Amino acid sequence: MLLNWRSRELQLKVVYYGPALSGKTTNLKQIYSRIDPAHRSEMVSLQTKDDRTLYFDFLQLELGKICGLKPLVQLYTVPGQSYYEVTRRLVLRGVDGIVFIADSEPSKVNENYQTWQEMFVFLKDMDLPADEIGIVVQYNKRDIPNAVAIPEMKRLLGDSKYPSFEAIAVQGVGVYETFRAILNLTVQRVQKILQN
C-alpha cells in the first residue's frame, strides 16, 4: 500500500500468482473487458521471447473512497515459468493481496504445489507475513476432462483457511467472484491499518 497525501490517493497492489499457463493473464483480460474504460487504465503486457509468457500485466482501477482516500488498484500477473523466479519475487514486492490460480489439469499437480510453496517462501523472505495479506485461491480449468477433484486440490495446497473459487477463466466463470473476494479482503485490511 502506497499513500500519496498530496493527491489523497491510496495505491493497492494485487498480484495474480500461479504456475505457467494456469489462467492468470486470462483472468486479467476478463476483468479488463468488463470494466468501464473511464475507470481503468490501459493494460500493459510485456512479452518475453517465449510464446504465451507474459512478463506482467498492469491494470489500474478506481473505486470509491477508503477513509477519505481515492484507491487505485493495480493488478499484476507473474510469469509462471520457474526460470523467471527473480521477476516473480520482484512483482510480489509491496503486495496487498494475492490471487493464487491453481491449474486443475492432473499433470499440473506438482507445479501447483511447488508454486504455492515458493510464493510463501518469497513472502517470508520479504518480511511480508502471509496472515497480513489477503489471499484468495482460484481453481481454474474446471471444465477439462479428468480435472483434479477440489477436495484433493485443497488437500495438496493446504489452503483451507483461504477463500476459494472454482473457475473456467476463458469463459469468465468464477473470475469476477474471485476478483470481488480479493478486493474485499484487501480493502478490509487497508481500512483496519488506516483506522489504527
Of 139 and 88, more confident: 139
The whole-chain average pLDDT of the chain stands at: 86
What is the reported pLDDT for 141? 98
Show me where the domains of the chain are located: 2-195
Query: Do residues 21 and 81 make contact, with C-beta atoms less than 8 angstroms apart?
Result: no
112 — alpha (psi -120 to 50), left (phi > 0) or beta?
alpha
In whole angstroms, what is the distance from residue 70 CA to residue 59 CA? 16
The CATH architecture annotation of domain 2-195 reads 3-Layer(aba) Sandwich (3.40)
Q: How far from 177 is each of 40, 103, 137, 163, 173, CA to CA, in Å?
A: 19, 17, 11, 11, 8
pLDDT at 121 over 70: yes
Query: Tens digit of pLDDT for each residue in 142-170?
Result: 999 999 999 999 999 986 789 999 999 99
Q: How far from 93 is each of 40, 87, 108, 126, 154, CA to CA, in Å?
A: 22, 10, 26, 7, 26
Q: How confident is the model at residue 5 (pLDDT cuts 50, 70, 90)?
A: low
Q: Tell me the whole-structure pTM to 2 decimals.
A: 0.90
